[in-house]
Structure 1
Amino acid sequence: MIRFIKRLWSSAPFAVLVLAASLIVAGVFAARSIAFWAYWNDPAHRAQAIEPWMTPKYISHSWRVPPDIVIDAMGPFEHVKKGPMSLEHIAATQDVDPQVIVNAIQDAIQDFTDERQNATSKLKPSKRLPQGVK
């Protein structure tokens, strides 16, 4: 194996470096994907009670709703720092209590889930057979 790698290195060192770098990057992304999958498939992280330390993206993942639902419920706010902002930071930019935003998000999620349940119940076919069919 080492001879093979030495022969590759002597014939195309740049290609070997590119291959090694791409394998490392692929490994990092694979590890992150597996960790992300394991975290969000843990039932303890699903539909968690919304708290001020959470970010909008975390809430949308936990409740399995589109991020737009959560962001629209918070109202307009100024993104004052680089990176994700918690509900506490967003409430501070709006000069409101974080619980006001939490309640608005809970209402928006409830409305979304009610609409989704109504839409799926309308799509379910009837179990009854048409008359004359046995």
Structure 2
Amino acid sequence: MSKLRYLWAHHRVAAIGFALALLLALFFTGRLMNRAVYWSDPAHRDQMPEAWMTPRYLARSWDLPVETVTALLAPPDARDLVTEGRPTLERIAKAKGRPVADLIADLAAALPAARQATPAGDGQ
């Protein structure tokens, strides 16, 4: 305990910097572990699209590049379909003026084919 008092008395800035660095390291380690556990669960792999999902979520679930999933949702010239909030499938369907059920059905049919067309390991 005396060493901590000494550090605090003589190297306060360094001690604060070290504590902040340690907290940041713990935070990012926790995030990494949380995501590793989540995506290693087989229930989160190859999930069928739902209205709340984003293209990025589907890309991770299907181990595809985000660009591939985005291309399945819209032609390449359609930029910024959703300007507010996260681009969920529901918001994308609304921006395109089509029922979300149709968009989900089209995407559910296209994802397995996109997976076969993408070389192994090309996702994220």
Q: How does 1:43-62 map to 2 (within 5 A)?
A: 43-62=42-61
Identical counterparts, % of pairs: 27
Q: How does 1:93-132 map to 2 (within 5 A)?
A: 93-116=95-118
The separation in 2 between residues aligned to 1:50 and 1:105, in whole angstroms, is: 7
The separation in 2 between residues aligned to 1:32 and 1:4, in whole angstroms, is: 32
The separation in 2 between residues aligned to 1:107 and 1:54, in whole angstroms, is: 16
How big is the alpha-carbon RMSD for the aligned residues of Structure 1 and Structure 2?
1.7
Which structure 1 residue ranges, 5 or more long, are not aligned? Answer: 121-134
Partner deviation per Cα, 1:82-101 (whole Å, 9 max, x = no partner): 4x221001111111111332
Amino acid aligned to 1:97 = P
TM-score (norm 1): 0.77
Amino acid aligned to 1:41 = S
Counterpart contact for 2:48–2:108, Cα < 8 Å: no
Q: How does 1:1-134 map to 2 (within 5 A)?
A: 2-75=1-74, 76=78, 77-82=80-85, 84-116=86-118
Which has more radius of gyration?
Answer: 1
TM-score (norm 2): 0.83
Flag the structure with more relative contact order, 1 or 2, with Cα contacts below 8 A and sequence separation at least 6: 2
Q: Alpha-carbon deviation of 1:13?
A: 0.6
Partner deviation per Cα, 1:28-68 (whole Å, 9 max, x = no partner): 10001001000000011111111111111111111111111
The separation in 1 between residues aligned to 2:111 and 2:10, in whole angstroms, is: 59
Where do 4+ consecutive residues of structure 1 move more than 3 Å? none
